[in-house]
A and B are shown apart, each in its own frame.
Chain A
């Protein structure tokens, strides 16, 4: 998206777009029309950037919380296995818990 000068020094606001597999430059207008199109594009870009930033922050926060839940799960699973083993159980083929024969 940019302003381009054409004959007579008149500036046109343009936008690149893909049409039938080829990139084409669209001339959106000069003067007030061009300014309005540029402002709309700026706003759309700012909204998209803000959403991307929010999503990036959310994903980082998700990772932090997931790590805390993982720590709890690991601790609980380890404690459960430890007490089952101390209680005389073992896992048969790494699956079902069975009482170890004396």
Chain B
């Protein structure tokens, strides 16, 4: 992970503008689409800036889980790196890489929320335990949403090529090869 760039042209205002445009387009306003495209074209290094958000969130999560333990910190870093490599696959697009980083961060959050809830059962008041349980539920939902989003993008936006070889149909999607029998 690289260090965040403090001089990035991307900021909260631009993110809010893009969110508003995407919401308009999502509701069926096709006039918003050119503006969405403009935002993506106008900001060089946009994907790197999104990567910075991932780095900041993941580092904060590592700090939260590991505390002062260097061994735990290294263990979590390695687990996250392995997960990133497993989920990412070869030739991932910038969007796919961002969605993978989100999956990794949400997994770490869900893991930390599980630990915090278990800890709260022995040490905290019922109100605090309830807070930790709500947070655990929310983290699990966020993790599932992150996986769903990645799956949708892979299914719809990754190029798929179908080739028939002898009696077998070969689909190549997003750098992965699936072989099946032709009907």
Of A5-13, A19-27, A86-94, the one touching chain B: A86-94
Contact partner, B64, options A51, A65, A87, Cβ 8 Å: A65
Q: Evaluate contact between B60 and A65: CB separation under 8 angstroms.
A: yes
Task: Check A83 for interface membership: any CB of B closer than 8 A.
Answer: yes
A69-B106, A80-B152 known; A64+B57 contact, CB < 8 A: no
Q: Which of B14-37 contact A (CB under 8 A)?
A: 15, 18-19, 21-22, 25-26, 28, 33, 36-37
A65-B61, A73-B146, A85-B22 known; A80+B95 contact, CB < 8 A: yes
Q: Which of B49-96 contact A (CB under 8 A)?
A: 50, 53-54, 56-57, 60-61, 64, 95
- The B interface, classified by DSSP as helix, strand, loop or mixed, is helix
Bitwise, B103-125 to A at CB < 8 A (1) or not (0) is 00110010010001000100111
Contact partner, B33, options A59, A69, A80, A85, Cβ 8 Å: A85
Task: Check A39 for interface membership: any CB of B closer than 8 A.
Answer: no
Q: A79 to B93: give the CA distance in the assembly, Å.
A: 12
Q: Evaluate contact between A75 and B64: CB separation under 8 angstroms.
A: no
Q: A17 to B15: give the CA distance in the assembly, Å.
A: 56
Q: How many residues of B contact A (CB 8 A)?
A: 47
Q: Evaluate contact between A79 and B98: CB separation under 8 angstroms.
A: yes
Task: Check B156 for interface membership: any CB of A closer than 8 A.
Answer: yes
By beta carbon, the residue of chain A nearest B15 is A75
Our count of residue pairs bridging A and B at CB distance below 8 angstroms stands at 110
Residues of A within 8 A of B61 (CB): 65, 69
Q: A77 to B59: give the CA distance in the assembly, Å.
A: 20
Q: A48 to B54: give the CA distance in the assembly, Å.
A: 37
Contact partner, B149, options A68, A76, A91, Cβ 8 Å: A76
Q: Evaluate contact between A84 and B152: CB separation under 8 angstroms.
A: yes
Please give the distance in Å from B143's CB to the nearest CB on chain A: 10
Residues of A within 8 A of B40 (CB): 82, 86
Having A72-B56, A76-B99, one finds 10 other A-B pairs with CB under 8 Å, namely: A55-B124, A55-B125, A55-B128, A65-B64, A69-B105, A69-B106, A69-B109, A80-B149, A83-B153, A97-B152
The residues of B with any CB-CB pair to A shorter than 8 Å are 15, 18-19, 21-22, 25-26, 28, 33, 36-37, 39-40, 50, 53-54, 56-57, 60-61, 64, 95, 98-99, 101-102, 105-106, 109, 112, 116, 120, 123-125, 128, 131, 135, 138, 142, 145-146, 149, 152-153, 156-157
7 closest cross-chain pairs (CB), A and B: A76-B102, A68-B57, A72-B57, A72-B53, A65-B60, A85-B25, A69-B57
The residues of A with any CB-CB pair to B shorter than 8 Å are 51-52, 55, 58-59, 61-62, 64-66, 68-69, 71-87, 89-91, 97
